[in-house]
Chains A and B, each alone.
Chain A
Amino acid sequence: MEFLERFAVPHPSIAIYASMVAIGLTMIAIVAGLTYFKKWGYLWREWLTTVDHKRIGIMYLISALLMLFRGGVDAIMMRAQLSAPENTLLDAQHYNEIFTTHGVVMIIFMAMPFIFALMNFVVPLQIGARDVAFPRLNALSFWLFFMGAMLFNISFVIGGSPDAGWTSYFPLAGNEFSTSVGTNYYMLAIQISGIGSLMTGINMITTILKMRAPGMTLMKMPMFTWSSFIANVIIVFAFPVLTVALAMGTMDRLFGTQFFTMENGGMDMLWANLFWVWGHPEVYILILPAFGIYSEVISTFSRKNLYGYKSMVASMVVISLMSFLVWAHHFFTMGQGALTNSIFSITTMAIAVPTGVKIFNWLLTMWKGKIEITTPMLYSLLFIPLFTLGGVTGVMLAMSAADYQYHNTMFLVAHFHNVIIPGVVFAMLAGLTYYWPKMFGFMLNERIGKWTAWLLSIGFLLAFMPMYITGLDGQARRMYTYSEATGFGPLNMISFVGAIIMAVGFALIVYNVYYSTRYASRDIGEDPWDARTLEWATHNPVPEYNFAVVPEVRSSEALWDAKKHGHVLFKDRNYKKIHMPNNSGVPFIMSLIFFVWGFSFIFSLWIPAILATIGILVCMAHRSFEQDHGHYISVEEIEETETKMRGAK
């Protein structure tokens, strides 16, 4: 009996039972649908075993959008609970679980896969490569992330969700104060997907360094590739810290070690330090690729080259270095003393300088340009003022003495949403709209797209501006309720209205996909946006081999050169057979075993844990002894594809 009790949700409610039923029905529907339409083989051959960077990118994208809605539902529930004083929609325990999963899902399982989606899809195309450096590893990265995300998401129906905040500070997250298995889910699900992220980091760095088209020197790479390169360098340096911290936390919870406990020499502050040594660089891992997207979009729709290319690159390098020197600003109030706080206060404010350079460079890119406001450009134009607001409140928070008043309040919550939503989310939506034709061969509807952008911006302002005020009025974050006497009621109600408007905006994205799939023209040519960079020099959607002939480039705007200055991208018009990697089911199977492995650890089921560990080792051994030389796409096949693609125009 005791054994089974661990699997029960500790705080069940009608909502949870309803979602159990919903999850069950959805899974039955998916299985039944696949069987009825005989799509199992298609799914296995084309998606589950694929090593194609474009398909992996699309799978990242679908997962990110799913998780966006999962985290969004959490957000709506939180705002609904806080919309009125003494509200009883959620109790404390539910609220705690919801804000914890909201944070984890949005950062680890929404924002990260969203940037990986765009990196995977765009970077090889931008540098004229046929795939990433390690296609099989890329598939493994995706499936590890996916299984981590799924493992995390089953927590709220099996055993209970983590409830110690997305920062999971010890000793609150330790066994003494978090008795359910929730925090085990946190430790292991993030660990599994984190291993995937680390592999992506290595993969992307290698791809960008080794697989660029002839003529593309480092300083001739498109800006999104540059930003991805730097973000991946940060990943490789930051994620091992998370890996270690999570391993220590797991051991504290499962094996009785005392790293972060209150007794026997444990240090709770150590967790906070390790977490933020990863956590702060993490926000730059998210924001730099976002900056890369904005650079591409703003330059394209200003019909002008990016202003200050060199200073853009330099500022990203500086940001990446500084990102490792500011972590203590997340806990100025821990009592390190005036000297330590002063150092971290200065380094934090210093980051505003390279970020400011980027904002001014974008403005100067538009200066004397010919600005066309398409949906991706609209996101970018809304990003500049909204992100500036978030940036300057960041400088305010960096003033450590004043931070004693902002810390742990809604002011802080307003700030980081103010940089993440206009900064990262808008960039991802701009990138999604901009690269949609590249991925699927048709454009998303511009009218619906612009409505979405405006609704998200207005909803954003309504939802988060009031938080700056309630924060300064003493509303701490993570409170599940407040009394009427505090006077927080009306402003929180405005926040709730804003959250609803944002939800409508996000729903419109889904509608747009549906509408455009049905009605949009498929006849869009290779270059529907009149773009400047290399990825637009091949067909839409992109054939398996990306470029029939390897392009040669001479600047960061290869396609623009070809269009305006008569540069010849494809010198050798004779097709040659193309070497491509083989599909493999092993990454999927190995990640599935990882899922079992994580689940077994979460519930301390040692025999399955040992079996799963052996299974993982067997998969790795299989890869080591496997003979796989890939395959060739013949000249005839290339000719056929190229004729078909050109014919579609």
Chain B
Amino acid sequence: MKRKWMALSIIFAIATFLTGCEPLLVLDPKGPQAARQAQDIMLSIGIMSIIVLVVFAMLIFVLFKYRASKQSPDYEPPHMEGNIWVEAICVGIPVIIVAYLSFVSVQSNYIVEATPQGYEEKEPLVIYASSSNWKWHFSYPEENIETVNYLYIPTDRPLEFKLYSHGPITSFWIPQLGGQKYAMSDMITTLHLAADAPGEFMGRNANFSGKGFAENTFEVTAMSPTEFVEWVDEVQETAKPLTEEKFDELIEPGHLGRMTFTGTHLDFMPPPEGHNHGSSHADESIEDSHSEHEGDHSNH
């Protein structure tokens, strides 16, 4: 494991050097999921570079050797049908490369879609991240607080983001912690992340959602678990409760700064959980009581 990290950091150092200045966000991971993705990216860049070099070399070779100007005027190029062995190589080698990359890809799929490796033992922190035009609302049901446009997270604890949208499809993305996932109005998607070390990260909606899309960003601060608990306590003491009227105001189209509340909007406006075919008015009331019950349960 350690050697792998060593090798990785060397590769990243080279990549950083090649690009000239500060490391590119995606190749400067601060969490296990982003690290896995950066590793896949560097691996594929490496393998693909070899293919590019082979094609370039072959092209340069034929261009130097078989230019009309380098040959006698009466040279007649031969008639050539395909050769089964040559074609087998042209198919076989790409098949081997694709098979290897597929193997890695499938493995990575199961890794990024599960609790981050090394964090399996710890209890995940569940955060509901929902977007409205053009803001992000972060509800911490366990802590019973809610923030707008900023996200505080503890390090060394798996994070389970429950994503959905109050409007168009958006995409929740914190490049340094891991890749993005869509937030949609009629279902909940889950994104597993974790932060290895304290720090400040950029987060944004990556999926075009209309006029205010470019500014649809949020700030992420990762802090030690004790600091996180202190922050939660502080919010509990100082912030105002989030009322239904206030929340209706918040999801009106527009931009907002950072905001903090006690309570979450999940209580009075339940997320589209448990069904993925849109919500009809008829079953909303059932949904209501159901999620209230769940809410109680998680408070115990």
Contacts and interface: CB of A to CB of B under 8 A. Distances in A.
B256 interface: no
Interface stretch (B3-11, B36-44, B138-146, B237-245): B36-44
B180 A404 contact: yes
Given A177-B167, A478-B213, A335 B79 contact: no
B105 interface: yes
B179 A405 contact: yes
Contacts of B269: none
Contact of A360 (B90, B106, B171, B206): B90
B101 A395 contact: yes
Interface stretch (B59-67, B148-156, B222-230): B59-67
B26 interface: yes
Nearest to B75: A370
A268 B185 contact: yes
B113 interface: yes
Contact of A304 (B77, B101, B182, B280): B77
B210 A172 contact: yes
Contacts of B133: 177
B98 A349 contact: yes
Contacts of A356: 90, 94
Contact of B19 (A171, A338, A366, A469): A469
Interface string A377-394: 000010011001100110
Interface string A299-314: 0001111011111000
Given A309-B82, A408-B206, A353 B102 contact: no
Given A303-B77, A335-B190, A346 B105 contact: yes
Given A360-B90, A370-B77, A404-B178, A473 B55 contact: no
A92 B45 CA distance: 34
Contacts of B190: 335
B185 A345 contact: no
B66 A302 contact: yes
A296 interface: no
Contact of B168 (A172, A269, A333, A393): A172
A248 to B, nearest CB: 15
A472 B23 CA distance: 10
A266 B78 CA distance: 62
Given A367-B62, A473-B24, A92 B214 contact: yes
Given A303-B77, A404-B181, A474-B202, A93 B26 contact: no
B102 A349 contact: yes
A262 interface: yes
B179 A364 contact: no
B109 A401 contact: yes
Interface string B49-63: 001100110110011
Contacts of B36: 401
A304 B52 contact: no
A350 B99 CA distance: 8
Interface in B69-127: 71, 75-82, 86-87, 90-91, 94-95, 98, 101-102, 104-106, 108-114
B169 interface: yes
Interface stretch (A135-143, A423-431, A479-487, A494-502): A479-487
Nearest to B20: A469
B175 interface: yes
Interface string A250-280: 0000000000011111111100100000000
B68 interface: yes
B289 interface: no
A263 B279 CA distance: 6
B106 A345 contact: yes
Interface string A329-343: 001011101100110
A164 B211 CA distance: 10
B82 A342 contact: no
Interface in A221-270: 261-269
B102 A369 contact: no
A472 B278 contact: no
Interface string B21-35: 110111100000010
Interface string A59-102: 00000000000000000000000000000000011001000000
Contact of B55 (A331, A370, A373, A384): A384
Contacts of A385: 52, 55-56, 59
B278 A352 contact: no
A342 B105 contact: yes
Nearest to B133: A177
A521 to B, nearest CB: 22
B236 interface: no
B219 interface: no
- 8 residue pairs, one from A and one from B, having the closest CB atoms: A404-B179, A308-B82, A335-B189, A401-B108, A392-B48, A172-B168, A408-B206, A304-B77
Interface of A: 92-93, 96, 163-165, 169, 171-172, 176-177, 261-269, 272, 302-305, 307-311, 331, 333-335, 337-338, 341-342, 345-346, 349-350, 352-353, 356-357, 359-361, 363-364, 366-373, 381, 384-385, 388-389, 392-393, 395-396, 398-405, 407-409, 469, 472-474, 476-482, 487
17 contacts: A264-B278, A265-B278, A265-B280, A268-B186, A307-B82, A334-B184, A335-B190, A338-B114, A342-B109, A360-B58, A364-B80, A367-B66, A395-B101, A398-B101, A401-B105, A404-B179, A469-B24
Given A473-B26, A479-B214, 18 more contacts: A262-B278, A263-B280, A342-B105, A352-B94, A363-B55, A364-B80, A371-B63, A381-B63, A385-B55, A393-B48, A395-B48, A396-B44, A401-B108, A401-B112, A404-B181, A408-B207, A469-B24, A487-B21
